[in-house]
Amino acid sequence: CVRQMAQGQSYIQCPVCRTIQGPKTGGHPLTGEMRMTRHSRTLPGYPESGTIIISYKMIPGIQTEQHPHPGKPYYAHAFPRTAFLPDNQQGNYILKMLVTAFRRRLT
């Protein structure tokens, strides 16, 4: 059972407690970009902090074997997208998690 659960994946998830073992990866396109800049302007509710600006860009391409329709084109609708975080301890913690998720192709 465990071998079959892990087949073709870099991680396994316990069916009882749902704990993930190993790095989970996703299938967003390899052509995506995530860029981050910092700005001194504040966000509503965070008057003491600057702003972290995250820009996501996905480029249209061809689906690979891990996608629903390998060999068919995909289109990146509604991109580029922009996200904002306060430039404080909490915002930087979330930024670190977002970068990890993007590198693992989960976002």
Q: Which pLDDT belongs to residue 83?
A: 96
Q: CA 62 to CA 59: how far, in whole Å? A: 10
Q: What is the pLDDT of residues 5-49, one digit of tens each?
A: 556 566 777 778 888 777 666 666 667 889 999 999 999 999 999
Task: Check if the beta carbon of residue 56 is closer than 8 Å to that of residue 47.
Answer: no
- pLDDT above 90: residue 68: no
Q: Which pLDDT belongs to residue 48?
A: 94
Q: Which pLDDT belongs to residue 14?
A: 77
Nearest to 101 by CA among 23, 9, 6, 36: 23
- pLDDT above 90: residue 58: no
Q: Structure pTM?
A: 0.71
Q: What is the pLDDT of residues 71-82, one digit of tens each?
A: 888 887 888 899
Mean pLDDT of 79-96: 95
Q: Which of 63-67, 76-80, 92-96 has the lowest mean pLDDT?
A: 63-67
Per-residue CA distances from 67 to 19, 24, 41, 107 (Å): 25, 16, 40, 15
Half-sphere exposure of 49 (CA within 13 A, CB side): 17
Q: CA 107 to CA 93: how far, in whole Å? A: 17
